[in-house]
Structure 1
Amino acid sequence: MAKVLELNFQAQDGTANVSIRNPKEPIDPVQVKAAMEQIIAANVLYSTKGELTGVIGARIIDRNTQEIEL
């Protein structure tokens, strides 16, 4: 099982996503939003779509893999 926390930002020229593998659980939505706002305020990430300007949302992607024995 692989989990990814995907952060979705508004950028100057579209949207930008940041993926974090194996996030610490439980996920606290208030902390996630605060962290995203800090990332924007500190201007620490650059996107091909330009500077990050706003928070769109976040989601957990949970992928299960099951091997098939042949």
Structure 2
Amino acid sequence: MASKETLELVFTNQLGREVVLRVKDPKSDLTSAQVTAAMDRIIATNIFTTTGGDLINKKDVRLVSSNVQDLWNP
């Protein structure tokens, strides 16, 4: 069984909708300050487009862990 982690960066856009950016296998030693700075930079540089407009606010950050077990592998 393999364990996988995903960092979820949650923003809101101009229409107030939640937008989640997922980063697979993030560095294990990330700090809150580094994540906050990255999110601020994403908002400031406006590098992502959404159907609800620009990303305007940080809403949440989550580290999601999952265990994956292949039941069948041909």
Normalised to the residue count of structure 1, the TM-score between the two structures is 0.87
What amino acid is the match of 1:41? A
- In the other structure, the counterpart of 2:20 is 17
Give yes or no for the alignment of 1:55 onto 2:63: no
State the 4+ residue runs in structure 1 displaced beyond 6 angstroms.
none
Choose which of 37, 40, 50 in structure 2 pairs with 1:37: 40
Query: What secondary structure does 1:48 align onto?
Result: coil
- Counterpart of 1:4 (choices 6, 10, 18) is 6
Q: State the Cα RMSD in Å.
A: 1.5
Q: Provide the rounded CA distance (Å) in 2 between the counterparts of 1:30 and 1:47.
A: 25
Please tell me the residue identity of whatever aligns with 1:34: A
Query: What is the percentage of aligned positions where both structures have the same residue?
Result: 32
Listed one character per residue, the Cα deviations across residues 38-60 of structure 1 (whole Å, up to 9, x for unaligned) are 10000011122210001111110
Partner Cα distance (1:42, 1:67) in 2: 40
What stretches of structure 2 of length at least 5 have no aligned partner?
Answer: none
Other structure's SS at 2:39 match: helix
- What is the distance in 2 between the residues matched to 1:48 and 1:6? 19
| Counterparts in 2 of 1:44 and 1:68: CA distance versus 1, 3 Å | closer
